[in-house]
Amino acid sequence: MHENIGFQLSRLPRLWRAVIDERLAPLGLTQTRWVTLYHLWRLGDGQPQCDLARAIGVEAPSLVRTLDQLSDQGLVERRPCEQDRRTKRVFLTPAATPLLERIDDVVREARNEMLAGLDREEIATLAQLLSRIEDNGLALQSRGEATVED
């Protein structure tokens, strides 16, 4: 049983995103675009591009292409940072709000359906266990980086 946990953990995010992607496709949103918009909305306006890329888990050049597309759609604006002109901050436009509300509805509905059959206590336990696994992975990654630098 333990041998399958890693495979299950790797399949689940892809399945989760695929369900949401399918439901957002009629809105003309690719996964990279809706994930970027949704993260920016959750993190708050004015995020530095590098922080947004880190939060999403993508490389900065990939995010730049996505932000260009979202900017062309009139959904985001990039502005220079007042403290550091080399840094660009990302802001949502008013046109993004109705779209984000729809994305939020779709994500919430998919989450409820994916977690169907689990009660609140089981969901809380699952969240705690996933956090512990993530912490363990981050600790392993940090040790690996320290070993490489030594």
End-to-end C-alpha distance for the chain, whole angstroms: 37
- In sequence order, the 6+-apart residues with CB closer than 8 A to the CB of 63 are 36, 49, 52, 53, 56
Fold of the 2-116 domain:
Arc Repressor Mutant, subunit A (1.10.10)
Reading the block at residue 86, the tokens are: 């080399």
Q: How confident is the model over 95-122, as pLDDT tens digits?
A: 999 999 999 999 999 999 999 999 999 9
Residue 131 vs residues 22, 36, 127, 149: alpha-carbon distances, Å = 27, 22, 6, 27
Q: How confident is the model over 8-52, as pLDDT tens digits?
A: 888 999 999 999 999 999 988 888 899 999 999 999 989 899 889
pTM: 0.75
Domain boundaries, the chain: 2-116
Residue 94 φ then ψ, to 5°: -60, -30
Reading the block at residue 141, the tokens are: 């990654």
Q: What is the pLDDT of residue 148?
A: 55
